[in-house]
Amino acid sequence: MDDPFKNNVPDPLLSGDTLPTFKFELEKSQGRVDGGSFGKEATVEQLPISKGLAGVSMRLEPGVTRELHWHATAAEWAFVLQGRCRTTVIGPDGNSEFDDFDAGDVWYFPRGHGHSIECLGDKPCQFILIFDNGYFSEFGTFSVTDWLGHTPKELLAKNLGLAENAFANFPKQEAYFTHGAPPPEKIPAPHQGELRASPQTHKYRLLAQEPYSTHRGGTEWRVGQAQFPISATMTGVVLDLLPGALRELHWHPTSDEWQYVVNGEISVTMFGSQGRYRIETLNAGDVGYIPQGFGHSIENIGNSAARILIAFNTGNYQAIDLTQWLAGTPDYLLRDHFNQAAETIQQFPKRDLFVVPT
């Protein structure tokens, strides 16, 4: 459930005379590299403003698996950029699910649920992981090799019913990425033989759906808890903007916003009261972050279509757009506020535009 009081205490980082940067060049960062596989992250350590959400860009080579692990302090929402991958997940009820994903698909793992991610086929896959806690680090997860590698052998032997010497060649440290043959195309049965399926699916085919909204300047796909019930703490959006198009000035009353530029060049503005205003230019592979309640906009300033992946730390998306606000306000108030003639006020849009074309 969303906490309506989570931002009642002013953030010192956002209380100064100027706004801090809200941009991080994620794909240009080093991260953790294993051959052609990597994980690169954007947390409060890399982008101090991003306290409500963190993100990771991960690439897996064929035969590579992000090992079995869990996150103690964050749920995980993911979007597949390219290639194919398979996830396994188990919940506290003992139910498990195995799913295969293509580009444009989404998964969600609740906080604490054990899972792994495998590259499928003979080509690499890449996906963006987003977490509902900006302090969460992908490199601080709880991994099965790290756990068993530091547990006394006599305890493992008792727990798993094996002789102590059976653990002689187990990894002594976290593997993080494991290497093996590409997974079978057909998903096999779990080790116990019988699959006890999860009551709620962890998979959603976002780009296979009809767009949530279509505009002259762009297209939006959106998925929150209403469409994807397990995604209780996250909403995801894919926003395509044509050259010159603008996701209009707006704010989000109940969530922070995390942005990843899939392709294109965009200009993002942020307004923070008391005359504080900042503009950042984001290119493909860059991350942007807007705190809850701060006014902002996204404009495609490139010569080609731009695609932006956007995540919110709420399952129930809410936004108030500038045109929506003005259209819902009496004309006399607008005249008094802006010191304009009635003829000028009459030219304001009379509906929510959402995306303004070039």
Determine the distance from the C-alpha atom of residue 150 to the mean position of all C-alpha atoms in its chain, rounded to a whole number: 32
Q: Which among 255, 287, 282 is positioned nearest to 268, based on CA atoms?
A: 282
b/e map 1-34, b = 16+ CB within 10 Å: eeeeeebeeeeeebeeeebeebbbebbeeebeeb
φ/ψ region of 231 (left if φ > 0, alpha if ψ in -120 to 50, else beta) reads beta
Give the catalytic positions in this structure: 66, 69, 71, 76, 115, 138
Structure tokens at 225: 């808890």
Q: Which among 50, 58, 49 is positioned nearest to 13, based on CA atoms?
A: 49
